Amino acid sequence: MTHPLVPTILELAAPIAESLGLEIVEVVLQTNKRPPVLRVDIRNPNQDTGLNDCEQMSRSLETSLETGEIIPFAYVLEISSPGISRQLDSDREFDAFKGFAVIVTTTDGEGVDKQWRGKLKGRDESSLYLNQKGRELSLPRSEVVKVQLDNNP
């Protein structure tokens, strides 16, 4: 379940990321940890996300969060890259990682799993779309079990 402050934090963080040439992949506020942790995953769409990207985002976001007094309790801010073996779940992640190499695991009605590799084209209500060496592949979403970034494209 998403913490109620996440949409407000995302609203603040997105323009900051954009001004730095970055994209927000995910925002999670983990209040079950002591102290609570605000984790913001970013990516640089033009190159591998580096430490410099994380540092710039951390400094800029920290200043804005403190100035806006959005989070009314002490917390730890973590800025990171989602990592190459990341599993994609949300529409936002599917949009952010269009064009990236992915591994899709599907299962048919008899429980047989199969893996598909290709570049993510997107998804809609009924299908997930991959590009496999110039050929479009459509997989029924009802059969998709997992979609993760491929670290060996």
CA distance 105 to 116: 6
Tell me, what's the pLDDT at 84?
Answer: 55
- In order, the DSSP letters of 60-96 are HHHHHHHHHT-S-S--EEEEE---TTPBP-SHHHHHH
Q: pLDDT value at position 1?
A: 65
**According to CATH, where is 2.30.30.100 located in the chain?**
91-149
Q: Does domain 91-149 have CATH number 3.40.710.10?
A: no
User: What is the chain's mean pLDDT, rounded?
Assistant: 88
Q: Is the pLDDT of residue 62 over 90?
A: yes
- The pLDDT of residue 58 is above 90: yes
**Confidence tier at 15 by pLDDT (50, 70, 90):** very high
**Over residues 127-149, mean pLDDT:** 92
For the whole model, what pTM was predicted?
Answer: 0.59
pLDDT reading at 140 higher than 60: yes
User: Candidates 3.40.50.2300, 3.40.1210.10, 3.40.50.620, 3.30.300.70; correct CATH number of 6-80?
Assistant: 3.30.300.70
pLDDT at 93: 80
pLDDT at 83: 65
Kindly report the length of the chain. Answer: 153
Where in the chain is CATH 3.30.300.70?
A: 6-80
Phi, psi of 24 (to 5 degrees): -85, 130
Q: Which of 89, 62, 67 is nearest to 78 (CA)?
A: 62
Could you report the per-residue pLDDT of 67-118, keeping only the tens digit for each?
A: 888 899 999 999 988 765 578 888 878 887 888 889 999 988 777 789 999 9
Average pLDDT (120-139) is 93
